[in-house]
Structure 1
Amino acid sequence: MGERLAHVVRLIANEPARADDGVGVAGILRRLCSAAGRSLSASGVGVSVMSTDGMRGIAATSDPKVAHFEELQFTLGEGPCLEAFSTRRPVLVPDLADGATRRWPSYTPAVHDHGLRAVFAFPLQIGAARLGVLDVFRREPGLLSDVELRRALIFADVAVTTLLDGQEQATPGSAAAGLDDAMGNRAELFQAQGMVAVRLGVSLTDALARLRAHAFAENRRLGDVARDVVARRLQFDSDQS
C-alpha cells in the first residue's frame, strides 16, 4: 500500500500546472483529477464537495467538459455521485446501457447522449465524516481492472487528505482555499430555494424541483439559475414550469 500511495502522489506531483488552475486546494484537486484520468484510462474525472446538510459544489475536474456531467447530477437530483455519497459505498457502473436508466432515469440518457458509457463513483470519507465524491467517467463500457480499482481508491484517499489539510489551514468558519466558489454557489442555491418557496407558497423540496426543472429546460447550470433568482433577475410564477 505504501508503494502504491507513493506512486499516486508522484503522478499528481508530476502533473503539469495549468493557467486556469484554481488556487490552493482547487489547484491540487484539478491536478489530481487529470492524473487520475490518465492513470485510469478515463475520459474525465471530477471531485465534488458535499455535506449532509445538502451543500454541494464542484471542487475540480480534469477537463471543463466534465463539469457538465457533475453539475447535471445536482440539477437532476440523481446520479452516481449522489448515490455514492448517500450510501457511503463506491458505485461502479461498467455499462450505462445495462439497467442504469432504472437507477437514474433522467441522468443516464442525458450523459449517454454525450458519449459516456461507464461511470465509477468513490465516496470521499473518513470515519463518520463525508466530504464528497470522486467520479470517473469513461466513453467505453467495461470494468475497472483490479489494479485500476485499487488505484482509484488511493486517488480518493489522497483527495480526502487534500480536503482535510486545506480545511485545517483555513480560517475558522470559511472554506478551504480555492473552494469558496464551490460552496458559495450552494449557499446561493439555498437562498434561491427559500425565495421560490415563499413566492409560490410551496415546500422547499418543491421549490428545488422548480429550480431544477427550469435549469434543465433552459440547459443552464443550476447555480446560475439560483444566482438570477437571488438577484431578482428571474422570478417564478405559479403557472410557470
Structure 2
Amino acid sequence: MISDGMAEVLRSLHRGEADDTAQACARALGAEGVALSALVGAKRSAELLWCHPELSARFEELQFTLGEGPGPDAARVGSPVVEPDLERVRPERWPALLPAARELGVHGVCCFPLGIGVIRIGVLTVLCDGNRRMSEQEYTDATALTAALTGALLNGDRRDGDGGVPGLGVALEPPSVLRRAVVHQATGMISVQLDVSMEEALLRLRAHAYGSERPLGDIAADVVARRLRFSHEFDGDGSGPYAPDGGKG
C-alpha cells in the first residue's frame, strides 16, 4: 500500500494541480533528488522533462554524455535498476560513470523504467543519500509513481490548453525539436567526416565531451554550427576534432 504522502502526490498529478511535480515527488519519496526523462527518437535517447534539484539534471546529463549508468540500463532491460550505494557497484559495470558520479556528489541511484510490456517510454531516476537503502515503502511508492507517470505520458495526446501533459506540468514537443536532436544531427555529420558508422560517430562525440568535461549537447552544438570538426589527419587515433579557422568548416 502506498504512503499517505505519495497518495496525495498522485491525487495532485491526476487533477493536474501539482505546482512543482519534481519537488513534490522527491519529498514524498524522501529522496535526494528525482528526474523524469522521456525516451524519444529511433535511438530512444533520454530527454529530460523535469527534475529536482539541479544535481538530478547534472546526473542525467552525465548518463547521456557517457551512454552508461542505471538509467540506460533500466531503459534497455525494462526493469528497475536499484543501486542505493554506488561504492558497492563493480567498477567495470559503469567504468566512466562511477568516478564522475562520485565527483558530482551522487551516492546512490535507483531507476525505474516507464512503459507497458516491451514498450518503454521513459525513466524515473531517484537519487539516494548513500547512508541508507530505499525502504520497502519507498520502493512501493516509486513503483506507484512510475505507473502514474507512464499513464500520463501515454495519454499525452490529451493535452491542456498550454500544450502540456495533464498532471506533469511539462510540455512535450515533437522529438525533432527536442534538445537531443542536435546530438543526432552532430552524430550524422561526424559519421560523414570520419566515414564511420553512426554508432562509432556517437562514441567519438561522447569521448570528446567526456575528455573536455563539457556537456554532450554543447559539443554537438559546436559540431552542427561548424565550430568543431572531426578529422583523421588532426589526431593520431583518428578521432581528432579541431576548430576550423574563423569557426567555419
- TM class by shorter chain equals 0.7 to 0.9
Using a 3 Å threshold, how does the CA distance of structure 1 residues 196 and 88 change in structure 2: closer, same or farther?
A: same
The answer to whether the 8 A contact 2:3-2:137 is kept is no
For 1:96-115, list aligned pairs within 5 A.
96-115=86-105
User: Separation in 1 of the partners of 2:132 and 2:17?
Assistant: 26
1:190 aligns with 2:162: no
Corresponding residue SS for 1:202: coil
1:36 aligns with 2:29: no
Counterpart of 1:70 (choices 38, 53, 60) is 60
User: Separation in 2 of the partners of 1:106 and 1:15?
Assistant: 39
Deviation at 1:54, TM superposition (A): 1.2
TM-score (norm 1): 0.82
Q: How many residues matched?
A: 225
The answer to whether the 8 A contact 1:100-1:108 is kept is no
User: Separation in 2 of the partners of 1:118 and 1:218?
Assistant: 25
User: Separation in 2 of the partners of 1:40 and 1:100?
Assistant: 26
Alignment match, 2:112: 122
1:209 aligns with 2:203: yes
Q: Deviations over 1:145-165 (max 9, x none)?
A: 111000001111121122122
Moved more, 198-207 or 177-186: 177-186
Task: Report the AA paired with residue 78 of structure 1.
Answer: E
Q: Deviations over 1:10-47 (max 9, x none)?
A: 46579863xxxxxxxxxxxxx33212211222111001
User: Separation in 2 of the partners of 1:221 and 1:200?
Assistant: 22
User: Separation in 2 of the partners of 1:74 and 1:50?
Assistant: 11
User: Separation in 2 of the partners of 1:92 and 1:137?
Assistant: 10
Task: Give RMSD over aligned pairs.
Answer: 2.7
Rg comparison, structure with higher value: 2
Counterpart of 2:147 (choices 157, 171, 186) is 157
1:54 aligns with 2:46: no
User: Separation in 2 of the partners of 1:105 and 1:81?
Assistant: 15
1:143 aligns with 2:137: no
Counterpart of 2:172 (choices 175, 179, 188) is 179
User: Separation in 2 of the partners of 1:140 and 1:14?
Assistant: 32
Q: Deviations over 1:62-112 (max 9, x none)?
A: 122311100111110100000000000000012111124231111111111
Q: Deviations over 1:166-193 (max 9, x none)?
A: 23449xxx99662338762222211111
Structure 2, unpaired ranges of 5+: 242-249
Using a 3 Å threshold, how does the CA distance of structure 1 residues 126 and 168 change in structure 2: closer, same or farther?
A: farther
Corresponding residue SS for 1:101: coil
The answer to whether the 8 A contact 2:128-2:134 is kept is no
User: Separation in 2 of the partners of 1:55 and 1:16?
Assistant: 28
User: Separation in 2 of the partners of 1:225 and 1:106?
Assistant: 18
Q: Which has the higher helix share?
A: 1
User: Separation in 1 of the partners of 2:171 and 2:210?
Assistant: 27
Task: Report the AA paired with residue 46 of structure 1.
Answer: A
Higher relative contact order, structure no. (Cα contacts within 8 Å, ≥ 6 residues apart): 1
Aligned identity (percent) is 39
1:8 aligns with 2:9: yes
Deviation at 1:210, TM superposition (A): 1.3
Alignment match, 1:25: none
1:235 aligns with 2:224: no
Using a 3 Å threshold, how does the CA distance of structure 1 residues 181 and 42 change in structure 2: closer, same or farther?
A: farther
